[in-house]
Amino acid sequence: MRRAIFLLSALALASCAPLGRQSFSPNPAGPDTQTISAADAFNGRLPLVSILPDTQDFQAPLKHAVQQALAIKPDAQFQVMAEAPATGNPDTDAQTLAILAPQAKAIAKSIVADGVSASRVSVGAKTAGLDQVVLVYVK
């Protein structure tokens, strides 16, 4: 009797199609919303480093991040971008970005001091995001 059950189950398994990806999840889950939100917030580009205003001790973590980026891509270019949320008033936005500009310049100088050629470091400013922040992107 056991042998008959074993043969029937073996026969049933042999007639089945082999397991594939679709067998486990016919509707696979997409990326999580946190990943999508992060990519949307930065227009598809994720920053290497984000530094809040008035942060004074950014040199060591920044140097480490820059070294890691250069280890992956020795000819990497760095873009330092001061960002502040848009208020709807161009004068207020310009004043806010002007306040962030000295910190963005200090971050760019720190990247150059860490051995990156000044021609591979650019500085900019734009209204974006929800908070005031200085972001460092790598290309």
Residue range 93-136, pLDDT digits in tens: 999 999 999 999 999 999 999 889 999 999 999 998 888 999 99
The CA-based dihedral angle spanning residues 32, 67, 69, 105, taken in that order and rounded to the nearest 10 degrees: 90
- Phi (first) and psi of residue 25, to 5 degrees: -150, 95
Q: Domains of the chain: which residue ranges? A: 42-138
pLDDT in tens, 46-56: 788 888 988 88
User: pLDDT tens across 19-61, in order?
Assistant: 444 444 555 556 666 555 655 555 556 788 888 988 888 899 9
CA separation for the pair 105, 119 (Å, rounded): 14
Residue-wise pLDDT for 56-92, tens only, equals: 888 999 999 999 999 999 999 999 999 999 898 999 9
Is residue 109 within 8 A of residue 59, CB to CB? The reply is: no
CATH architecture designation of domain 42-138: 2-Layer Sandwich (3.30)
